[in-house]
C-alpha cells in the first residue's frame, strides 16, 4: 500500500486531473506514505493569487465558530464561540474570534464612518476614519472575554464541549489610538468623571466607563491581527478596554460622551449586572477575574493513541494583569504540579501553558488553576457558588475539570 492502487489510478485517468489523486486515495482509505511520493508531490500546485484572500485548508472546515441554539431566540442577539480546541497559540484567528451581537452586525462604509467626542469637553471633535488614523498609535495584545463565558456551567456541567463552555474569548493584536490621546485632544472638563461610549449598531449599544480607565489603557482600535477590524469585531472602529468584560469594548463605535455621572444604561442594569442570592444587585463588575482552562485534551480533542506521553496544553489569563503561575492536577484537585508558561507572558493577555503527562491509561480528572500577579487564585465551582449563588449568569471563572475515560474520551464534569 505504498502507492495508489490500480483502481485509483484508473479513476485519476478518467478524471484527467492530477489533483484528484489525493482525494481518491483518501476515499479508498489508502495511506499515502513513504517511500512513494504523495500525489501532490507529482503535480503542479496552485499559483500565487489563485486565492487573493487566503483561506484555511479545506480539511479544516470543522474549525468554525459555533453557537448554542437554545440560548437565544434570535441570532441577532446571540453569541458564537471561538474553537479554542483548535487554537494553537495565544492569537485568535480573526475569522474564529467569538461574536456577541445585541442587534445584529451592521455593515459600515468606512467613508461614511464618523467618531464624535462630545459632552464635558473644551473642543468637541468629529473624526473621519482617516483623521483617526493620523493620531499617534499603539499596538497591544489583549484578550476580550464575555462575562457570560461559562454561563451554562453555573448550575452543573451541562455542555460537553470546550468551545461552548469557554469559547466566548479571543485574543488579538489591537492597533489604534489611545483613548487618553483623544481625551487630551478634546480637553476634558475638570469635573468630568465618566464617559459613555456608544456604538452605531441597531442597539446603539452603550456603556459607561470611569475616567481613570479611559486615561489608563483603553484603545480606539481600527486594526486587528494584521488587518482592519473584522465587521464581527466592530469594523471600522471599536473600543478596547483591556481586561474588562467584553460588552464594554463597544463595537462600531460612534460616540464618546464625557459626563459627570454614569448613564446607568440597560446594559449596566438589566443585562450585565449581578443579582446576588441576598437580593443585592452589583452594578459595576467590569474586570474579568483570572481563569484558565486545559485546551488539550478536551471533549473535542480526546486522547488518541492509548497510554503514553501527552502534553497537556491550555490558556490562562487575568483581567487584573499578568499570569504568575498555572498549576495542573491529574487527580481531581488532590495534588497539583506547576505547568510551564510559554512566552510571551503579557498583561491582560492569553498566556499559554504546557504540562508533560505520562498517561497510564486509567480514568483521570484533570484541571488547571491559575494564580495572577495580584495573588488571586482561580476558585472551584463550589467556592464560586458560595458567593454568587447556584445559577447566576456571569463571572464563572471556576476551575474546569475534564474527566478522562480509559478509552481516551473526555467529558466535562463538576466535582464536589
Partner 1 sequence: MSSFLNRLFGAAVLIGVGAHGALAAPPFKPAPIPATDLSTWNAEASDFGKHPVKKPLHVPGFYKIGTAPTPAQITGWTITVYPNGVGLPPGQGTVAQGEKIYGQNCAMCHGTFAEGKNGYPQLVGGVGSLKSATQTKTMGSYWPFANTVWDYINRAMPFYAPHTLKPDQVYALTAYLLNMNGIVHSSFVANAQSLADVKMPDRNGWNWKDPRPATHNIACMSNCARSGTPKITSNAVTMNLTPHLTGPVDHMKNGK
Binding mask 301-330 for partner 1 (x = CB under 8 A): ------------------------x-x-x-
Only one residue has cell 494583569, namely 321
Strand-pair partners of 154: none
- Sign of the alpha-carbon torsion through 99, 96, 252, 256: positive
Interaction of residue 157 with partner 1, rule CB under 8 A: yes
Side-by-side strand order, sheet with 337-338: 337-338, 323-329, 364-372, 401-404
Interaction of residue 213 with partner 1, rule CB under 8 A: yes
Interaction of residue 86 with partner 1, rule CB under 8 A: no
Interaction of residue 261 with partner 1, rule CB under 8 A: yes
Interaction of residue 337 with partner 1, rule CB under 8 A: yes
Binding mask 369-408 for partner 1 (x = CB under 8 A): x-x----xxxxx--xx-xxx--------------x-----
Of 278-297, which residues contact partner 1 (CB under 8 A)?
Answer: 278-287, 289
Query: CA nearest 387: which of 286, 277, 291?
Result: 277
CB 296 within 8 A of CB 303: no
Using CB under 8 A, count the residues that bind partner 1.
123
SS (H, E, C) 360-382: CCCCEEEEEEEEECCCCECCCHH
Interaction of residue 185 with partner 1, rule CB under 8 A: yes
CB of residue 85 to partner 1, shortest distance in Å: 9
Interaction of residue 180 with partner 1, rule CB under 8 A: yes
Of 52-71, which residues contact partner 1 (CB under 8 A)?
Answer: 62, 64-70
Q: Which residue number, 223 or 336, has a Cβ lying nearer to partner 1?
A: 336
Interaction of residue 230 with partner 1, rule CB under 8 A: no
Q: Is 9 left (phi over 0), alpha (psi -120 to 50) or beta?
A: alpha
CB 123 within 8 A of CB 186: yes
Strand-pair partners of 341: 353
d(CA 86, CA 180) in angstroms, rounded, equals 36
- Sign of the alpha-carbon torsion through 386, 329, 408, 161: positive
Interaction of residue 164 with partner 1, rule CB under 8 A: yes
Interaction of residue 228 with partner 1, rule CB under 8 A: no
Of 113-142, which residues contact partner 1 (CB under 8 A)?
Answer: 116, 118-128, 131, 134-135
* Window contacting partner 1 (CB under 8 A); options: 24-32, 185-193, 234-242, 307-315: 185-193
Helix, strand or coil, per DSSP, at residue 158: coil
Interaction of residue 216 with partner 1, rule CB under 8 A: yes
Amino acid at each position: 500500500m505504498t502507492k495508489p492502487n490500480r483502481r485509483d489510478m484508473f479513476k485519476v485517468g478518467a478524471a484527467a486531473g492530477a489533483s484528484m489523486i489525493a482525494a481518491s486515495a483518501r476515499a479508498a482509505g489508502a495511506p499515502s506514505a513513504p517511500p512513494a511520493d504523495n500525489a501532490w508531490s507529482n503535480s503542479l500546485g496552485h499559483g500565487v493569487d489563485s486565492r487573493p484572500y487566503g483561506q484555511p485548508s479545506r480539511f479544516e472546515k470543522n474549525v468554525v465558530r459555533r453557537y448554542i441554539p437554545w440560548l437565544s431566540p434570535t441570532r441577532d442577539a446571540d453569541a458564537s464561540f471561538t474553537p479554542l480546541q483548535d487554537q494553537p497559540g495565544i492569537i485568535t484567528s480573526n475569522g474564529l474570534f467569538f461574536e456577541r451581537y445585541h442587534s445584529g452586525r451592521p455593515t459600515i462604509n468606512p467613508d461614511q464612518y464618523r467618531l464624535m467626542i462630545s459632552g464635558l469637553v473644551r473642543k468637541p471633535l468629529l473624526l473621519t476614519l482617516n483623521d483617526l488614523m493620523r493620531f499617534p498609535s499603539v499596538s497591544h495584545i489583549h484578550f476580550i472575554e464575555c462575562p457570560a463565558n461559562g454561563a451554562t456551567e453555573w448550575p452543573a456541567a451541562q455542555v460537553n464541549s470546550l468551545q461552548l463552555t469557554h469559547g466566548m474569548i479571543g485574543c488579538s493584536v489591537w492597533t489604534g489610538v489611545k483613548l487618553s490621546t483623544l481625551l487630551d485632544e478634546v480637553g476634558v472638563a475638570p469635573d468630568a468623571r465618566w464617559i459613555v461610549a456608544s456604538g452605531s449598531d441597531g442597539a446603539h449599544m452603550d456603556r459607561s466607563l470611569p475616567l481613570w480607565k479611559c486615561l489608563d489603557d483603553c484603545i480606539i482600535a481600527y486594526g486587528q491581527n494584521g488587518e482592519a477590524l473584522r465587521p464581527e469585531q466592530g469594523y471600522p472602529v471599536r473600543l478596547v478596554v483591556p481586561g474588562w468584560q467584553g460588552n464594554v469594548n463597544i463595537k462600531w463605535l460612534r460616540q464618546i460622551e464625557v459626563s459627570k455621572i454614569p448613564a446607568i444604561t440597560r446594559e449596566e442594569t438589566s443585562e450585565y449586572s449581578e443579582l446576588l442570592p441576598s437580593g443585592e444587585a452589583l452594578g459595576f463588575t467590569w474586570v474579568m477575574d483570572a481563569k484558565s482552562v486545559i485546551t488539550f485534551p478536551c471533549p473535542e480533542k480526546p486522547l488518541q493513541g492509548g497510554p503514553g506521553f501527552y502534553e497537556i496544553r491550555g490558556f490562562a489569563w487575568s483581567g487584573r494583569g499578568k499570569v504568575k503561575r498555572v498549576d495542573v492536577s491529574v487527580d481531581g484537585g488532590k495534588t497539583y504540579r506547576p505547568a510551564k508558561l510559554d512566552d510571551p507572558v503579557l498583561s491582560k493577555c492569553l498566556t499559554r501553558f504546557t504540562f508533560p503527562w505520562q498517561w497510564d491509561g486509567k480514568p483521570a480528572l484533570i484541571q488547571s488553576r491559575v494564580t495572577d500577579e495580584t495573588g488571586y487564585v482561580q476558585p472551584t465551582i463550589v467556592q464560586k457558588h458560595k458567593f454568587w449563588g447556584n445559577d447566576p449568569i456571569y463571572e464563572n471563572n471556576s476551575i474546569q475539570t475534564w474527566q478522562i475515560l480509559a478509552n481516551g474520551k473526555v467529558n466535562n464534569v463538576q466535582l464536589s
